[in-house]
Structure 1
Amino acid sequence: MKKGQIVKALSGFYYVKSDGLIYQARARGLFRKTSESPLVGDIVEFQIENETEGYITAIDDRKNALVRPPVANIDQVLLTTSLVSPDFNYYLLDRFIAYAEAHDIEPVIIVTKMDLSEDESLRAKIEDIYDMYPVFFTDKEQVNHELLDIFKDKLSVLSGQSGVGKSTLINTILPEAKLNTDEISNKLNRGKHTTRHVELIEIAGGYIADTPGFSTIDFSVIDKYNLKFCFIDFDEHSENCKFRECLHINEPKCGVKKAVGEGALASSRYESYKQIFEEIESRKERY
């Protein structure tokens, strides 16, 4: 029996990396009985049938798992957003952050297209509001060398709205990553006639998932009572709430609302929280 990590899934086959070798494996029939399917990123036990083939017999407990993209044990999500064209969107970024926090995934914020704006005050504001997370600023011409350090020993996925370009980000850091630019670009921007699959690509001592990123943000996994814990900058202020179970919406003597009023907590973060809270509330009413 060997142990390894699934680095690719394609047509019912799983490619497991163990001790530097890749084994092609199928899942045992027992998984059909439990309705559990192996995912790329899973740590699995497998039995070797011959030199390069085998059967997956067990899946280790997952740290987390996403449906879209179907990847498990993600360490961090690179939330890619642009400063301009399209303009920086606080609410959209906050949605991605809350979704990542709900799945126990570390958000890393990457702001692109710095060369297209001279608004230093906006950059300072972003750094101030999101100082609880790593924030990187980059553009096509200037490689932020610190970006390379975030990949080491991590499984990363990319996310971001259309137009900010995850392939642009990858190509920005590729010179130092010493990977084949054409190969990665092709993998990250497959044509519509190519086979869809999920694969982990080695980059700067870690892995990045070759997937379309978060295609949907579904807050059905988050209870309205737990949403506040996905806004970690609320934590210190919620200690001043009169009621322990305060939801920071209509309750009196709320520490979070007080902090917003005093400028100690960004109003944009609180407005995002309220919008997502209302979305969860309205969903509950529908069902």
Structure 2
Amino acid sequence: MKKILRNVIPLLLASACAAAAGQTTGLTNTIPACRMPAGKVLPDKYYALAKAKNAFNWVAAATRGDGVVEGNGWERVDGSEMHDWFSFYRIDLNGDGLCDWYLNAAAPMSTGGDRESINTLYLGRAAGWTRIGADVPQDKPDGLGYGKTSAQQRQFLFGEEPSVIHDAVRKVNYVVAALYSRNGQRSGRPGYRIFDWDADRNTLRLLDKWEPGSKAAQVYAYFKAHGARMRAPAATAASDTIQAFDPDVEAFELEQACDPQSALRSFPEANGVVSKYLLVRCKH
């Protein structure tokens, strides 16, 4: 713990300076409105899924003004009362002005809140959606346990509860997400994760927020000072849609990064290589 505290104090000072400088970078929590594609509010297949035990009944109630659409999926095991939870977040991911859906599908691992997740992206087109995600049959939801989701989970695991910071100069939306307490993948992917859009690969690109002077570092400093805009139901007041920075999320990332025996450090092939700029903060 003493090792971590020695690293946190200079980090906080540097972040404060970066946050002040961030006022000139064009970053803002005012997110431009996007246009919903013609056709159904959610991807077509969700309207056709079986509605057993109230699963997916919420789909029909989705409106074009909703920032978030979410509800129960199918029961994981008959009689368990443990259901998948599907959350669609409306974000313009690729900056084309059309609304996209960022789907987080959470699969319960216990009745106490333990879970794992996988993400699927639905890019808005003039009419309908283009799906980016793990291989799943058309008659199944985009949740763990269907198709090749388990094998492809690490490729399509960005984070829970995404929020947005907009760059008004570059016209880019940065997505801020994390895996929170009780998520089974949290130890391997700790901390806040910042993404922009990779047009060549047609997916979200993870940025290194620890690289000094980088755009990701500026976005992270802005997030720490001002929060990020959450997606929310249409009736939610703007003052209730700011995702605040939680220092415990960062502290956990530092703890994992500075422990050579942690899941983060032990399995780089699964979790990615730890930033060299983060590792230099560790005292060995």
Q: TM-score range by the shorter chain?
A: under 0.3
Say which one has the larger Rg. Answer: 1
Q: Decide which structure has greater helix share.
A: 1
Q: TM-score, normalised by structure 1?
A: 0.27
Q: TM-score, normalised by structure 2?
A: 0.28
Higher RCO (C-alpha 8 Å, min separation 6):
2
